[in-house]
């Protein structure tokens, strides 16, 4: 007996459930689900059995073939980039082998000539044994020893029949060869010498020694052994990643396969173990595998699940690999609105960097390759003729002098005037984003379908507005953040520009070789969208660049050696990739910059210092903006004399003269400066500070607005 339970999906209450007999009329199947409940039914498995063809049949064999069948078209022919890479590798390999042995051909000939006497002796001994038919001697001796006269006589006659023609032939060949050689030595001595040299070389082939090969063999010391499953299992077990007793352990999601210049293994870790547990022990994993740490690259596959580990092991040590050329080295043009070529990952794949609508922070200890990174970034921007470059190289070394002729503003040095110029450039960036914000705000929504931000289409539609990307590069920015008179303003300007300028095409690139907390304010580092950490010494510096918790997530620039110059962790958000910046020599940088200068000249986009103009950095910030920058968090009111002291430290060029006044005069000066903005100073009693005095309430300070 069975009952039919009909559940009405449209009914919100229990009234939607009714029990009817099977004979009752069935309602609309689009609004109900019918479940048959059979009494005393046998239990059924939850997972339905997999439908397979009977084993041993033709269909089963064909299905087994298709399950592991290789692709019809090889990978090298399906993708043009893979085909080019494979062809290039094959040609370069055989060209290298040919050139390698061609250059050493005289050495090989000398070795053959040195072995010629031994080879000639071996040939003469072999010839003498053939003429004397020595292989038959043991048989004759056995017949003589057994006193078998008939057998001995038969063998003797056979021996004479075989030896006589050989002696005659040998004597004839020797006579003809001797006469021919003597005559040729007088008539054609050159050909005779060449023939003798060739004969000696051929004889030398028979004089080889087993322990000393003729051909020089190249032994690649940085080529690693092939990766296999046993090594992966053992290495993971050695670092404590293995299944507990009675539970599932490490399982392979696919076979170990070739992946570029190395091998790739996809592993499902034991239940409850995340891939980050392996990332945290990368050094220990490499030690367990007995491989250089620069060849072992574990990463998590978040598209599968948190416990999926992708382990890539290089066939050759990437740290000792040859240089790969930057894609724009010889020709090409860049677009800042698109990803720019930057460097290569350990597999040799190109890694691109997106700058638009983002900002970049690069940090690492001295000697970690910051200059290589800066060149790859700046030259990429330079090859976009619509991008405006403002560079402040506060080390004064001239590492970026190659792009000086095409920069709108270029400053190199670490003097006070250079630091002031960098601050002025940041202020000008604030003014520029406010100008652009006003224009974008005035456009109808139909012209900004992707949001109110600068796009390539807008920049091309309104060329008179000059909406091209403005890229501000500050190298050694810690010089600003550690200067007592400038650090507060520098931090405030950078934070504001990072947060609000990115939507309007303003890009701030900061490079530092001192990524500690005092040299890198939290308000700045926490706001940057794209980060690149080169070699650092501890987890604090690592997290200062890559963000809080990066070290625990396995993004560890501490594992990078300072000898691996230009290598770092490139992160945007929570995920990161190991990348080595394309190495560009200074002479090559100059050639690229000349090409970029020609592009800008043809496009008519040169401006500022590049055309001999005096660059004036605009500063549209007011005393109200400065009050917002120095106002203590959570404080409702502050006395005027305290605000004057803070403003003088923040902008000494503007407010330091107020310190020469008495308290009343300084308070009056502040009141006069705030009056145009309708901010009044009032008598305030603040017991925590110093009683009653003139001051300002935070509620009276106007709120900031984009484009103000």
Spell out the alpha helix ranges (H) of 290-415.
370-382
Q: How far is CA 681 from CA 55, 75, 610, 628, in A?
A: 92, 75, 47, 15
- With beta carbons less than 8 A apart as the criterion, state whether 473 and 509 touch: yes
| Residue 561 CB partners (closer than 8 Å, separation 6+) | 294, 319, 535
- With beta carbons less than 8 A apart as the criterion, state whether 411 and 392 touch: yes
| Residue 276 CB partners (closer than 8 Å, separation 6+) | 300, 306, 552, 553, 554
Three-state SS letters, 535-582: CCCCHHHHHHHHCCCCCCCCCCHHHCCCCCCCEEEEEECCEEEEEEEC
| Residue 135 CB partners (closer than 8 Å, separation 6+) | 129
Distance CA 524, CA 494 (A): 6
- With beta carbons less than 8 A apart as the criterion, state whether 204 and 114 touch: yes
Strands 296-300 and 340-344: unpaired
**Where do we find the tokens 């009494």?**
39
* Phi, psi (deg, nearest 5) at residue 342: -125, -55
Q: How far is CA 576 from CA 296, 300, 499, 567, in A?
A: 16, 10, 22, 13
Distance CA 21, CA 234 (A): 63
- Say how many C-beta atoms besides its own lie within 10 A of residue 447's C-beta: 13
Nearest residue to 432 via CA among 379, 393, 394, 468: 468
| Residue 327 CB partners (closer than 8 Å, separation 6+) | 341, 350
Distance CA 640, CA 682 (A): 9
- With beta carbons less than 8 A apart as the criterion, state whether 641 and 693 touch: yes
Nearest residue to 513 via CA among 672, 367, 385, 623: 367
Distance CA 611, CA 614 (A): 9
* Phi, psi (deg, nearest 5) at residue 699: -65, -25
- With beta carbons less than 8 A apart as the criterion, state whether 270 and 248 touch: yes
Beta bridge partners of 365: none
Distance CA 132, CA 123 (A): 14
Beta bridge partners of 697: 637
- Say how many C-beta atoms besides its own lie within 10 A of residue 202's C-beta: 14
**Where do we find the tokens 């940085």?**
222
Helix, strand or coil for residue 396? coil
Upper half-sphere CA count for residue 476 (Cβ side, 13 Å):
20
**Residue 368 annotated in ligand binding:** yes
**Residue 681 annotated in ligand binding:** no
Spell out the alpha helix ranges (H) of 104-227.
105-132, 137-145, 149-187, 189-205
**Residue 371 annotated in ligand binding:** yes
Strands 2-8 and 17-20: antiparallel
Burial label, 388 (beta-carbon count in 10 A; 0-12, 13-18, 19+): buried
**Residue 35 annotated in ligand binding:** no
Q: How far is CA 87 from CA 76, 80, 322, 660, in A?
A: 9, 10, 18, 76
Distance CA 48, CA 43 (A): 13
Max CA pair span of the chain: 145
Distance CA 146, CA 467 (A): 112
**Which residues belong to the annotated binding site?**
364-371
**Which residues belong to the annotated binding site for ATP?**
364-371
């Amino acid at each position: 007996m069975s009952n039919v339970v009909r559940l009405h999906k449209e009914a919100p209450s229990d009234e939607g459930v009714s029990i009817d007999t099977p004979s009752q009329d069935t309602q609309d199947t689009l609004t109900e689900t019918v479940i048959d409940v059979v009494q005393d039914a046998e239990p059924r498995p939850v997972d339905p059995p997999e439908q397979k063809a009977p084993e041993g049949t033709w269909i089963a064999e064909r299905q087994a073939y298709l399950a592991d069948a290789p692709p019809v078209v090889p990978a090298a022919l399906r993708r043009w980039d893979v085909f080019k890479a494979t062809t290039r590798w094959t040609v370069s390999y055989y060209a290298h082998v040919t050139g390698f042995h061609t250059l050493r051909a005289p050495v090989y000939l000398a070795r053959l000539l040195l072995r010629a006497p031994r080879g000639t002796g071996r040939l003469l001994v072999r010839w003498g044994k053939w003429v004397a038919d020595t292989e038959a001697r043991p048989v004759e001796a056995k017949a003589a020893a057994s006193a078998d006269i008939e057998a001995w006589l038969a063998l003797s006659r056979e021996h004479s029949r075989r030896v006589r023609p050989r002696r005659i032939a040998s004597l004839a060949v020797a006579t003809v060869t001797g006469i021919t050689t003597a005559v040729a030595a007088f008539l054609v001595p050159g050909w005779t010498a060449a023939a003798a040299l060739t004969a000696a070389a051929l004889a030398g082939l028979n004089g080889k020694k087993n322990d000393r090969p003729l051909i020089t063999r190249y032994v690649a010391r940085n080529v690693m052994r092939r990766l296999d499953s046993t090594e992966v299992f053992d290495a993971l077990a050695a670092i404590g990643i293995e299944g507990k007793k009675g539970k599932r352990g490490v399982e392979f999601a696919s076979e170990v396969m070739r992946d570029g210049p190395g091998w790739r293994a996809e592993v499902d870790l034991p239940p409850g173990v995340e891939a980050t547990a392996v990332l945290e022990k990368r050094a220990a994993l490499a030690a367990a595998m007995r491989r250089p740490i620069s060849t072992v690259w574990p990463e998590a596959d978040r598209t599968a699940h948190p416990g999926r580990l992708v382990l890539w092991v290089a066939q050759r040590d990437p740290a000792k690999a040859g240089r790969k050329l930057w894609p724009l080295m010889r020709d090409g043009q860049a677009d800042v609105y698109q990803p720019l070529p930057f460097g290569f990952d350990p597999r040799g794949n190109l890694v691109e960097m997106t700058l638009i609508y983002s900002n970049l922070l690069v940090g690492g200890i001295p000697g970690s390759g910051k200059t290589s990174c800066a060149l790859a970034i700046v030259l990429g921007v330079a090859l976009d003729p619509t991008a405006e470059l403002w560079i402040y190289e506060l080390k004064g070394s001239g590492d970026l002098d190659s792009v000086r002729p095409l920069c709108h503003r270029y400053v190199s040095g670490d003097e006070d005037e250079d630091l002031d110029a960098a601050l002025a450039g940041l202020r000008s960036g604030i003014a520029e984003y406010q100008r652009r914000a006003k224009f974008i705000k005035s456009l109808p929504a139909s012209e900004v379908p992707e949001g109110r931000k600068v796009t390539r289409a807008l920049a091309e539609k309104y060329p008179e507005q000059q909406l091209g990307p403005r890229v501000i590069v500050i190298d050694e920015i810690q010089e600003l953040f550690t200067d007592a008179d400038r650090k507060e303003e520098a931090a405030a300007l950078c934070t504001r520009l990072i947060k609000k300028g990115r939507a309007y095409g303003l890009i701030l690139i900061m490079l530092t070789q001192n990524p500690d907390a005092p040299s890198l304010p939290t308000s700045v580092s926490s706001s940057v969208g794209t980060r690149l950490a080169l070699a650092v010494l501890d987890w604090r510096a690592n997290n200062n660049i890559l963000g809080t918790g990066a070290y625990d997530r396995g993004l560890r620039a501490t594992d990078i050696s300072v000898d691996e110059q230009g290598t770092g962790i490139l992160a945007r958000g929570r995920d990161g990739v190991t990348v080595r910046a394309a190495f560009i020599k200074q002479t090559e940088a100059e050639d690229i910059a000349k090409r970029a200068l020609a592009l800008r000249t043809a496009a008519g986009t040169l401006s500022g210092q590049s055309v001999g103009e005096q660059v004036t950095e605009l500063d549209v910030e007011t005393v109200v903006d400065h009050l917002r920058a120095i106002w203590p968090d959570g404080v409702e009111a502050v006395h005027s004399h305290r605000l004057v002291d803070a403003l003088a430290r923040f902008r000494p060029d503007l407010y330091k003269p107020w310190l020469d006044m008495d308290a009343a005069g300084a308070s009056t000066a502040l009141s006069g400066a705030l009056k145009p903005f309708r901010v009044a100073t009032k008598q305030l009693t603040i017991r925590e500070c110093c009683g009653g005095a003139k001051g300002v309430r935070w509620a009276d300070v106007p709120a900031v607005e984009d484009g103000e």
